[in-house]
Structure 1
């Protein structure tokens, strides 16, 4: 059975995981004979605070200061409930519990004190209010869901959030995400509220939860894309001692041991730690592709005073894998295959990422809190790879009859050039230091009849990046369909990456700063108004140094290009929330964001940033006493001053007027519009059942352009996505002695609608100054065409079994063995994984 919980607990200014004003409850549990009982669940009703008794029957539970109901429950015993009070900075003993045996054949008792989707505060939103009060769509995915679904990569977790999808997996070394028609770059991806470089796949085993704040977040973070932001929250220190060890194995040689340990330092009630990590080694369903990684995530919590805490967090990731640009395409026709590998021998992508974060939180009084964050990240990457397979031949040998484009392989391709491809070697080395400082003041104040929840903050960050490129050189020639064929080798070919010589070294030093203020005004119990604005400043200087060729007489390194950009912008936000009842809110909002541009206008002046106007309306519901949350959002995002190539006349220094052929000369005259609908539904456990479902529709298109067709869709964005996950815990229906008591089962499905890759059809070619009458017969002979990526449905099933401290989970993924692709242009055509399995065994201590 489930212990019912009351979701209404005394409200706190900060989220449940915030250690400010934390105290402890201590006690002991024994049976009727006076013997200690181990493994008894001790939890605070209506919260996520809970623990279990140790071998001597004792427990120590950490929670925020406040009044609660303490629930003590265990299989085969009558559940007990008593009122308790937690005092900040102190340990409070509670009377000893004596468990009475139940006469009923009880199933496992589970305390479900988790908050609903709309009751949780999203830390990436900075303002300490429940999402029900925010005029913006937000979704969180908790650790329990991630573990149930055996999430290995972030792409596995997308099945829980409507409208969040993979845009591409360029080179197979990263997963590029997007929503609402816009890509999430490193500017939109955060870990514990600090930006991190998403050029490497983050480690999912360390996550406590995943937060998605949809739509504009420019007022909080400045230069972020319009679609939303993603925040990965890692596991935090705990004073209760415990941990787990596990091993995950799976298809394609996956082998992944995992550990997690936490507790107080010694007998201290002021210092706690956590350390988790993993090693991973795997092959792939792709020929010759392999990977290995090491990850460690330490953190320490200091209770400096009853009102002040300091959390130090760090992580280290070393990720080595084979760069893989997919199966290739000929003239925008995908060469269907799941296993064809086209990269050169010895290709590798090696990344090391180290980060550290210090978060100091102090409660000034019962209504005001200050939070300071300092962060540092080091990112190093070396890639040695062949060229992307986008220039594979589709013609025939000289003297053969002329042929049109061939979407299929000719029967006698061995006598033709069809499928021949000249490969080159290339090499890059990138290093980046990132620094962040952030200060936020939040609190509540009343002016007359208005109650204000206020956020005032400032931040500054800096990227120091150094990128070294080597001159690409010819390597060999192959036929992609028959690798045994011997083809004439290119002239001046090299035999190894070490033979490449340095070409350019680019230094960039991006500096940003921002000041922001937000106020959520409660006009009445039913009406709330959110208003705020941010001012952002950004400098983007860069210097490009070019190395002399090895044969040059002058071997000095010279500056060949210097760029200096200075941008600033205001980002306002306005939203209205109406709550006809406490569990339902209707909202409407407007927000503005910006995106810096490169290039200059026709007068030679640097282009100002483009701006995005975002409109959003929606309804949020907590139904059936908070057991079910159902939210619907509609939005429109318009970039009405999109930077596009200037096609008008220009006058040179001699007064001669010609058509512009310089693509660096632009005008802010284009327009892109994104509009859509999103539905998110999540449940709490109900009689053993839990489910998550959602749907999204998006149409992102050029609505004004001098190069592309109006209303032509932007690439990489699926028109529709849908998700559904259903899990059942057999422990809610079967007795204590039943074998099925520890069994769970679930299914997950994820639909990705059709999307486009390739290159948008052009009406005008700025490189030639001539219109494209027919995109397939343009003057330059270089057609621009789109590739339609087929829709697909992923269907997964899983089983889990827990006995005492041991648990086993088994998952079968892509049961239908669907085939589709993630693409970038036409040169990184990466198939999705076929049917595969994984199994995880773990022991909790």
Structure 2
């Protein structure tokens, strides 16, 4: 009853975003404003125009006069729609004698470029209305449509096959002209595309030109951040840019706009929008650990593993363009992984046009965060481009004595070496300082009933983390059907406790006194080196189309841990006195070095049997070698393992909007140690089965996924019942997770956007000698759900203003495999107000507005309290 009441109360909160309004100008690109009195008597062909490769966000930015005054309140008839072919693409002409008097509002949604033309109506000379549709007019474009959506608005939609189309908007005496560039041009020695017939009003389809059959791809240049809550494609699932509807696996994408609207500074605030993802803990407020479908999540950045070797602190969102969450075992392309799935962070890349954005965020508990995002070309020919993201953060906390300071910088250089070769150099440096904070203790199998602000350690505790990442990526196209991607990444990370640190070891106490672990200065250092090579080829066997991927990955990891230990220190949780003694004696308790080498080779084929039937088949073979030296007892532990990981998937699309999918996949995780007989442990294996349905609705503005899954992990180590000393283990344990997930995202109506999710999870121990069979896996709520929606006023005096809100709910979860204590469920409510017009964006985010006391994950029998009600304001200016 409590949850039902809260959900009913909170579900009434709505929210919104806005798209800029623009005006049609001269027959030059409308982002170059000219006088509306000037006209041209002749409509030039696309071949006569040098395209500016401008994306939807920056097509037009001219002033917005009052069109109704120009029109005198009359609706201008658009009497014909024609498509004229050109060497580079096609021109779509909305014929009207008053094109310069039509108001144009443009935006993007996924791979759709959408223009709403106000003040006009598709109308034949006879007075009848009509619609226009052109299917597959050129390579990379699925269709172009023009239709009346109300009495005085015409919507033109250009649907990209895999990416946002490149479109230029012009005006002319004859009307409005949309110059749509093909994603293919004629290769050397080939003939240009054949001429398409002009299309008169009606649902006629032009003949398909050769350009749609595989001419040389040209680069699509992005000039601004993409709007929208949906994405049309992702690379995480297949390592190729594949439409989401063609991927036989559950995958969700969180675009930049969702992160921005929700004021998500931390990764945790973004991934809560995805079904089946839960925060498992923060390792003492140092970083984030997640579960997906009951098992530990694998976090990647730009396709490279971003685990504790390279990410020792909370990840920064400043340079994140989007987040892709792939569900289920994924070792087929990524090697050693838990069978949960992948959270892949995709970073921002250089833009073709100058872009400068400066922002500042301030909030509760003295939170301050200035940011900048600069990009553009460095040379006149545009072959060398850059991007620079910088963020600084300084804050206190709702936790006593907890202050944080962070600095992040991420420069990127992109060089176009030739027509078919690009080289990108990307760097990151991150520095953070904050106390180690493990939250509230679990006493008598309950979270202590004390204020969530109470800090139970030495206020002088300070953890300093420094991280650096360097990426070098080479992309080369040998021809239109064969391409190579080579990427190299090196990282370093260090964590230093530069003062004596007291880490809690929470234990049961009758009077509230617990002992704290007394650690002297500790140092951890990590290095990683990874090289990936992916060769992608496209070919046909008869009528069957193939996209074949062959890849090789080599990796090396190194780390050294050194720490000291002193006498335990007591503290009373009800009446803490922060008076600790560091007299010692101290002794080294950890001094180890680990070297790890990995190698993987994989092959994948994406097979289009028919246009509506697609198969995905792949396999990977991995070897893993690790050696750990313990300098305290002069021992060496080696782990050598190998594994083959297959994946098979199928997608059937009975209609254009619906995709039915199913898949089978496996994963592996190396396990160190031996049995009582000295036999080395074999890797843990994950096996996943999944079926589901994906739907695209409202002209691809709204997308959803419904999935049913079963994931089983085998070879789990558990107590060896034949070993009376309790020292050795055997691999007979098994864990299984089953569930249902639903995700939805998109734009219901112009200005009304939504993203939501629900997951039912049933993760349990199915075989074990250490824990009772039937126990639930830790940090996985049985029910999770989210709903976030925004609305932005599109016209009138409130144009540019928006509001939004959402709820994020979890049922209770167990804190350990013993199921000895629980993390209570919660319903959290957020809201937002914002204004976005031209180059200015201002917003206020209200988080946990009902001040709910709740916890997010556990670590070493301590629960992480979530922040109470907070307010966060952000203002940014683009110039």
TM-score, normalised with respect to structure 2: 0.76
Question: 1:641 pairs with 715, 728, 750, which one?
Answer: 715
Whether 2:875 is the aligned partner of 1:760: answer no
Counterpart position of 1:442: 536
Cα contact 1:240–1:263 (8 A) shared by 2: yes
The 5 A counterparts of 1:299-314 are 299-314=412-427
Q: 1:165 to 1:385 in 2, by over 3 A?
A: farther
Q: Please report how far the alpha carbon of residue 385 of structure 1 lies from its aligned counterpart in structure 2 after TM superposition.
A: 6.1
Q: Please report how far the alpha carbon of residue 34 of structure 1 lies from its aligned counterpart in structure 2 after TM superposition.
A: 5.6
Whether 2:438 is the aligned partner of 1:325: answer yes
- 2: CA distance, partners of 1:515 / 1:78: 51
Q: 1:163 to 1:276 in 2, by over 3 A?
A: same
Q: Please report how far the alpha carbon of residue 246 of structure 1 lies from its aligned counterpart in structure 2 after TM superposition.
A: 1.2
Question: 2:34 pairs with 27, 30, 33, which one?
Answer: 30
Q: 1:44 to 1:714 in 2, by over 3 A?
A: farther
- Structure 1 counterpart SS, 2:358: strand
Question: 1:284 pairs with 397, 414, 422, which one?
Answer: 397
- Structure 2 counterpart SS, 1:174: coil
- 2: CA distance, partners of 1:85 / 1:136: 29
Counterpart position of 1:230: 343
Cα contact 2:637–2:673 (8 A) shared by 1: no
Question: 2:304 pairs with 194, 204, 225, which one?
Answer: 194
The 5 A counterparts of 1:111-190 are 117=230, 119-123=232-236, 125-184=238-297, 188-190=298-300
- Structure 2 counterpart SS, 1:810: strand
Question: 1:667 pairs with 730, 736, 758, which one?
Answer: 730
Counterpart position of 2:554: 460
Q: Please report how far the alpha carbon of residue 29 of structure 1 lies from its aligned counterpart in structure 2 after TM superposition.
A: 3.2
CA deviation profile, 1:431-470 (whole Å, cap 9, x unmatched): 1111010000112211134221111101011111111111
Q: 1:814 to 1:47 in 2, by over 3 A?
A: farther
Question: 1:631 pairs with 693, 697, 705, which one?
Answer: 705
Cα contact 2:351–2:387 (8 A) shared by 1: yes
Question: 2:847 pairs with 794, 802, 813, which one?
Answer: 813
Q: 1:292 to 1:78 in 2, by over 3 A?
A: closer
Question: 2:659 pairs with 585, 588, 591, which one?
Answer: 585
CA deviation profile, 1:554-574 (whole Å, cap 9, x unmatched): xxxxx6210122110000111
Question: 1:711 pairs with 766, 769, 774, which one?
Answer: 774
Q: 1:802 to 1:610 in 2, by over 3 A?
A: closer
Q: 1:511 to 1:169 in 2, by over 3 A?
A: same
Q: 1:68 to 1:794 in 2, by over 3 A?
A: farther
Question: 2:466 pairs with 349, 352, 358, which one?
Answer: 352
Question: 1:746 pairs with 786, 794, 804, which one?
Answer: 804
Q: Please report how far the alpha carbon of residue 824 of structure 1 lies from its aligned counterpart in structure 2 after TM superposition.
A: 2.7
Question: 1:67 pairs with 89, 105, 113, which one?
Answer: 89
Cα contact 1:329–1:390 (8 A) shared by 2: no
Cα contact 1:307–1:363 (8 A) shared by 2: yes
Unpaired stretches in structure 2, ≥5 consecutive residues: 1-17, 22-27, 40-48, 65-86, 107-114, 118-133, 141-165, 177-223
Cα contact 1:287–1:340 (8 A) shared by 2: yes
Counterpart position of 1:535: 621
CA RMSD of aligned residues (A): 3.5
Cα contact 1:621–1:630 (8 A) shared by 2: yes
Whether 2:459 is the aligned partner of 1:365: answer no
Q: Please report how far the alpha carbon of residue 801 of structure 1 lies from its aligned counterpart in structure 2 after TM superposition.
A: 1.1
CA deviation profile, 1:234-261 (whole Å, cap 9, x unmatched): 1110120121111100001101111111
Whether 2:334 is the aligned partner of 1:334: answer no
Question: 2:596 pairs with 493, 504, 510, which one?
Answer: 510
Unpaired stretches in structure 1, ≥5 consecutive residues: 5-23, 36-41, 58-64, 103-110, 396-416, 547-558, 649-658, 762-784
Cα contact 2:512–2:573 (8 A) shared by 1: no
Cα contact 2:29–2:59 (8 A) shared by 1: no
- 1: CA distance, partners of 2:432 / 2:173: 50
Whether 2:851 is the aligned partner of 1:828: answer no
Q: 1:93 to 1:721 in 2, by over 3 A?
A: closer
- 2: CA distance, partners of 1:667 / 1:586: 40
- 1: CA distance, partners of 2:404 / 2:558: 28
- Structure 1 counterpart SS, 2:749: coil
- 2: CA distance, partners of 1:791 / 1:827: 17
Whether 2:669 is the aligned partner of 1:606: answer no
Q: Please report how far the alpha carbon of residue 349 of structure 1 lies from its aligned counterpart in structure 2 after TM superposition.
A: 1.1
Structure 1 stretch displaced more, 635-644 or 453-462:
635-644
Cα contact 1:45–1:113 (8 A) shared by 2: no
Counterpart position of 1:478: 571
Cα contact 1:594–1:612 (8 A) shared by 2: yes
Cα contact 1:117–1:139 (8 A) shared by 2: no
Q: 1:46 to 1:386 in 2, by over 3 A?
A: same
Q: 1:113 to 1:479 in 2, by over 3 A?
A: closer
Counterpart position of 1:106: none
- 1: CA distance, partners of 2:374 / 2:260: 17
Cα contact 2:614–2:650 (8 A) shared by 1: yes
- 1: CA distance, partners of 2:169 / 2:860: 69
Q: Please report how far the alpha carbon of residue 227 of structure 1 lies from its aligned counterpart in structure 2 after TM superposition.
A: 0.7
- Structure 1 counterpart SS, 2:398: coil
Counterpart position of 2:358: 245
Counterpart position of 1:594: 668
TM-score, normalised with respect to structure 1: 0.79
Counterpart position of 2:6: none
- 1: CA distance, partners of 2:417 / 2:841: 37
- 1: CA distance, partners of 2:173 / 2:504: 69
Cα contact 1:475–1:494 (8 A) shared by 2: no
Question: 2:58 pairs with 51, 54, 58, which one?
Answer: 51
CA deviation profile, 1:84-142 (whole Å, cap 9, x unmatched): 9999xxxx99897579999xxxxxxxx99868847313346303321211110111111
Question: 1:428 pairs with 511, 522, 526, which one?
Answer: 522
The 5 A counterparts of 1:411-422 are 417-419=511-513, 421=515
Whether 2:751 is the aligned partner of 1:688: answer yes
Q: 1:205 to 1:269 in 2, by over 3 A?
A: same
Whether 2:330 is the aligned partner of 1:217: answer yes
Q: Please report how far the alpha carbon of residue 580 of structure 1 lies from its aligned counterpart in structure 2 after TM superposition.
A: 0.8
Q: 1:521 to 1:86 in 2, by over 3 A?
A: closer
- 1: CA distance, partners of 2:226 / 2:453: 46
Counterpart position of 1:565: 639
Cα contact 2:29–2:168 (8 A) shared by 1: yes
Cα contact 2:30–2:170 (8 A) shared by 1: no
Q: 1:66 to 1:721 in 2, by over 3 A?
A: farther
- 1: CA distance, partners of 2:467 / 2:461: 20
Cα contact 2:598–2:623 (8 A) shared by 1: yes
Q: Please report how far the alpha carbon of residue 618 of structure 1 lies from its aligned counterpart in structure 2 after TM superposition.
A: 0.5
- 1: CA distance, partners of 2:655 / 2:228: 18
- Structure 2 counterpart SS, 1:156: helix
- Structure 2 counterpart SS, 1:201: coil
CA deviation profile, 1:666-688 (whole Å, cap 9, x unmatched): 22212111111110111136221
Counterpart position of 1:842: 876
- 2: CA distance, partners of 1:420 / 1:242: 54
- 1: CA distance, partners of 2:174 / 2:391: 42
